[in-house]
Amino acid sequence: MSQSLARALQILVSLGEGDRSLDELATELDVHKTTVLRLLRTMEVERFVRRDRAHRYRLGSRLFSLADTAREQHVVRAVAAPHLRQLNQKTGQTVHLAAYENGQVIYIDKLDSVQSVRMYSQVGVPAALHCTAVGKVLLAAQPKRQREALLTTIEYRQFTPNTITDPDALRDELDLVRAQGWAHDRAEHESFINCIGAPIKERSGRVVGAVSVSVPDVLLNYEQVLELLPDLLATTAAIAADYN
């Protein structure tokens, strides 16, 4: 672990025990005050710490939002697990669970296909927003202002000839996703993979995650993948029922 990262984490642990002054943190870390101040300034800008009027440091609001996200993802993953297993066993295909986190869509669970073909996706790794089914589902679920802001910041990397590389085209696609309640990735991220995804909604209608089924075209073509949509929608509805 890098020395700076180790010290920043030690600062967070110390502040978790109570507020500290710059001098107190420097003493605890056994480093010069300028080193600690440099770390604190960066952490303050990113809202991991805050400084009060008495120039004492406390944990910042960013940690609270991250804690809420981590707690929610843990709950969604735990609730979804048996339903994902059932979908995986019934279809025999790769199943993903993803969640939205600070402008990114992150895979938080994955069950591999029973076939020998494996996908490169990994738990904890972001999914492309513009060309994956879970990315489209979770991007479409964001409030309009936030969604529009994200559309301007996406790197529209062309993974395959089918990848959407234009913000207006993606905007139209997201309108369709919201209207029909599911999304597809028709060989947009990997040229030999077709995928469908659907949202998990809590009682208020807020989307807390997305589930997808991904299939290599050597096993099923796009039209055959669409035949799995009823199973996918039944799975997300069952997860939502247990989550609520």
Report the Cα–Cα distance between both ends of the chain, in Å, rounded.
40
pLDDT at position 1 over 60:
no
Give the integer Cα–Cα distance in Å for 185 and 225: 11
- 52 shares its domain with 80: no
Quick one: 164 and 101 in the same domain?
yes
CA distance readout (Å), 23 to 28, 32, 128 = 9, 9, 44
pLDDT in tens, 104-136: 999 999 999 987 666 777 888 899 999 999 999
Q: What is the CATH number of the domain that holds 9?
A: 1.10.10.10
Whose CA is closest to 43, among 72, 13, 1?
13
193 sits in which H/E element: strand 193-201
Domain identity same for 135 and 26: no
Burial class (CB in 10 A: 0-12, 13-18, 19+), 133: buried
52 lies in the same domain as 84: no
* 36 and 90 belong to one structural domain: no
Task: Write out pLDDT tens, residues 152-197.
Answer: 999 999 999 999 999 999 999 999 999 999 999 999 999 999 999 9
Dihedral sign (CA 46, 48, 51, 55): negative
Residues 129 and 45 in one domain: no
DSSP H helices, 92-201, are 133-140, 144-153, 167-180
Does one domain contain both 37 and 146?
no
Is 33 inside any structural domain? yes
Domain holding 88, by residue range, is: 74-243
Res 193: pLDDT: 95
144 in a structural domain: yes
Q: What is the pLDDT of residue 127?
A: 94
The verdict on residue 114 lying in a domain is yes
**What pLDDT digit, counting tens, does each position of 54-103 carry?**
999 999 988 877 776 777 777 899 999 999 999 999 999 999 999 998 88
pLDDT of residue 192: 92
In this structure, the answer to whether residues 81 and 123 fall within a common structural domain is: yes
Q: What is the pTM of this model?
A: 0.76
Write the pLDDT tens digit of every residue in 193-213: 999 999 999 999 999 999 999
C-alpha separations of 218 from 18, 116, 192, 215, 222 in Å: 58, 11, 8, 8, 10
What is the average pLDDT across 132-142?
Answer: 97
DSSP class of residue 128? P
Query: Based on the structure, what is the number of domains in the chain?
Result: 2
Q: Is 71 exposed, middle or buried (0-12, 13-18, 19+ CB in 10 A)?
A: exposed
CB-based contact 144:129 (threshold 8 Å) = no
Domain of 112: which CATH number? 3.30.450.40
**What per-residue confidence (pLDDT) applies to 239?**
96
Q: Is residue 66 part of a domain?
A: no
pLDDT in the model for residue 232: 98
Residue 226 has pLDDT above 60, yes or no: yes
- For residues 13 and 79, membership in a common domain is answered with no
Is 55 contained in some domain? Answer: yes
Distance CA 80, CA 221 (A): 27
pLDDT confidence of residue 96: 96
Predicted local confidence at residue 118, as pLDDT: 67
